[in-house]
Amino acid sequence: MSQESIALRAAGISKNFGPVHALRGVEVELRSGEVTALMGENGAGKSTLLKILNGDYRPDGGSLEIDGRPVEFSDPSDARRAGLRVIAQEPEIIAAVSVAENIFVGDLGGVGFNRRALIERTRTELRRWGFDRALRADALGSDLSPAQRQLVEIMRAVVSRPRIICFDEPTSSLGDEEVALLFSLIRQLQDDGVAVAYVSHRMAEIFQLADRITVLRDGAFVGTKRVSETDHDDLVRMMVGRDLEKFFHRDRAALGETVLELIGVGNEHVTDVDLTVRAGEVVGVAGLVGAGRSELMKTIAGDYPATAGRIVVSGEVRSIRQPSDSIRAGIGFAPEERKAEALLLQRSVRDNAALVVLKSLARWIFVRGRAERALAQEYIQRLRIRTPSSEQLVGNLSGGNQQKVVLARWLATKPRLLLLDEPTRGIDVGAKSEIYAIIDELAHQGVAVIVVSSELPEILGVSDRIYVMSDGRISGELDRKDATEERILALAMNDISA
Ligand SMILES: Nc1ncnc2c1ncn2[C@@H]1O[C@H](COP(=O)(O)OP(=O)(O)OP(=O)(O)O)[C@@H](O)[C@H]1O
Ligand SMILES: [Mg+2]
């Protein structure tokens, strides 16, 4: 490739946060018309690098060049003027205004502001990028789903026609359909000669999208390869520094009593759900985004009380009206929106890992036992939580490491029934296989586990039995030995065509 095609070059980039060396001499080149994937374990420094490119942070060392000319950004508006946009993982959406205003925020120009023209312009943009069926220009910010919020964040970047665009785990809140929209948008950007950087922990996406892959480990630059020169195992080795054992460790455990039985359970989110889980069993719940999987978990956990049917826990009908009722029944729940729902960002890693939360009572019950804490510490090690010490504030950890802290807490508590909603979302490949091993161990210790996941290989890998949901109902049930991706998808699409 010729020199001219390098749109952005970052050389020798370093960044420290106190004693933490987040980046140590990182090298990245982004080429026009190419997708460069940035990969590395949780805490490797990927988001920090993007924040430096965006002008959020000043690097402690190194240099940036755009089109061969040195640049320095002191804030995001500098980066924007240079034609560079970074799409952060967590969209900031203004609730009280429309999608159109959210997209063109900061670009509205006081004088000739004309709402109708703005809506029209937004519609044109949405059509141009193929987002017009997923987003309405006049919808209110407060009415958007997490996936739609992410799409708004993406639109915000592309409408300014940047020449360099960086995505930080853009698919983590997207369903399959929105992922397809995003991928075709990225192809369009490539055709337009835009240089794209793409951070993701999902290998399949990387192999679908990327031309080159740059790997970071512990803040250091490991290397850059063309996608044709590498494969899954090679990338894992580059990221983790070692080979990983077999990815899924499931051995079917001996099944005990029925721990959970739902009989005709329903509320405004789910309808007529029959489901059982036995001690030692791992049950997967599959379905498309919006099928009601998370809502079902929240129904069992007491966030959305059931208004119909019965919930039977270990043979006893329980009234689960609020989260404290489910905790008392021995049910642990690691929700999907971990940061919002489960973490105390201003407290330490140790406190968060050793804490069981009773949200509804608006007070905290601290499980202070020494044994609990030691257990939490053990899980912190097993999940490779990258933190300078267990006293670090959780708010200062990388996104994936925050996820790991919540999971460590729940995995360490050994409830009777454990509900895990998207347990490996945002989590790196090394910790993923460790989480599967822990789920397997818990099953062998007689814990009943329900795993919700959008990743079919994961559902197929961890589950003994799989329920598929569609439109708030159970649309089918498959034993592990009969389950395939095709059969799950067919059941998941059940009501969509109707
Ligand atoms: N504001 C901060 N204060 C202290 N440490 C920080 C801060 N921001 C990041 N770090 C640390 O810098 C390191 C790199 O974090 P970064 O967010 O870049 O990781 P990442 O590769 O994006 O990980 P993930 O895959 O989990 O998102 C981590 O050890 C993190 O704890
Ligand atoms: Mg990150």
- Shared domain for 317 and 352, answered yes or no, is yes
Domain boundary among 240, 274, 305: 240
347 part of a folded domain:
yes
With cut-offs at 50, 70 and 90, classify the pLDDT of residue 498: very low
Question: Does the pLDDT of residue 200 top 80, yes or no?
Answer: yes
104 part of a folded domain:
no
Closest atom of ligand 1 to 169 CA is: 27
Q: Which long-range contacts (CB under 8 A, 24 or more apart) does 461-465 make?
A: 461/247, 461/248, 461/250, 461/436, 462/248, 462/250, 462/282, 462/284, 462/436, 463/250, 463/282, 463/283, 463/284, 464/250, 464/252, 464/281, 464/282, 464/283, 465/281, 465/283, 465/284
- Shared domain for 278 and 373, answered yes or no, is yes
Among all bound ligands, the one having the nearest atom to the CA of 426 is: 1
Instruction: Report pLDDT for 358.
Output: 36
- What average pLDDT does this structure show over 227-247? 84
- Shared domain for 374 and 225, answered yes or no, is no
- Shared domain for 207 and 280, answered yes or no, is no
Nearest to 259 by CA among 325, 315, 300: 315
With cut-offs at 50, 70 and 90, classify the pLDDT of residue 100: very high
- Shared domain for 356 and 226, answered yes or no, is no
Instruction: Report pLDDT for 354.
Output: 67
- Shared domain for 155 and 231, answered yes or no, is yes
Q: Residues with Cβ within 6 A of ligand 1?
A: 17, 20, 22, 40, 42-48, 386, 396-401
Mind listing the pLDDT tens digit for each residue in 66-94? 999 999 999 999 999 999 999 987 788 99
117 part of a folded domain:
no
With cut-offs at 50, 70 and 90, classify the pLDDT of residue 113: low
Question: Does the pLDDT of residue 414 top 90, yes or no?
Answer: no
At 55, which CATH number? Answer: 3.40.50.300
Which has the higher per-residue pLDDT, 125 or 395? 125
- Shared domain for 162 and 286, answered yes or no, is no
212 part of a folded domain:
yes
Q: How far is the CA of 402 from the centre of ligand 1 (A)?
A: 10
- Shared domain for 236 and 264, answered yes or no, is no
Instruction: Report pLDDT for 177.
Output: 85
283 part of a folded domain:
yes
Q: How far is the CA of 47 from the centre of ligand 1 (A)?
A: 7
382 part of a folded domain:
yes
Question: Does the pLDDT of residue 392 top 90, yes or no?
Answer: no
Ion ligand 2: residues, CB within 5 A, are 47, 398-399
126 part of a folded domain:
no
- Shared domain for 213 and 264, answered yes or no, is no
Instruction: Report pLDDT for 244.
Output: 67
Instruction: Report pLDDT for 339.
Output: 65
- Shared domain for 388 and 482, answered yes or no, is yes
Q: Which domain holds residue 389?
A: 258-492
Question: If you average pLDDT over every residue of the chain, what do you get?
Answer: 88
Domain boundary among 240, 266, 288: 240
Question: Does the pLDDT of residue 341 top 80, yes or no?
Answer: no
Domain boundary among 210, 240, 270: 240
- Shared domain for 212 and 315, answered yes or no, is no
Mind listing the pLDDT tens digit for each residue in 446-471? 999 999 998 888 999 999 999 999 99
With cut-offs at 50, 70 and 90, classify the pLDDT of residue 174: confident
Among all bound ligands, the one having the nearest atom to the CA of 41 is: 1
57 part of a folded domain:
yes
- Shared domain for 310 and 459, answered yes or no, is yes
- Give the number of other Cβ atoms within 10 Å of residue 267's Cβ: 18
- What average pLDDT does this structure show over 229-236? 92
Among all bound ligands, the one having the nearest atom to the CA of 44 is: 1
Instruction: Report pLDDT for 411.
Output: 77
Closest atom of ligand 1 to 49 CA is: 18
- What is the number of structural domains in the chain? 2
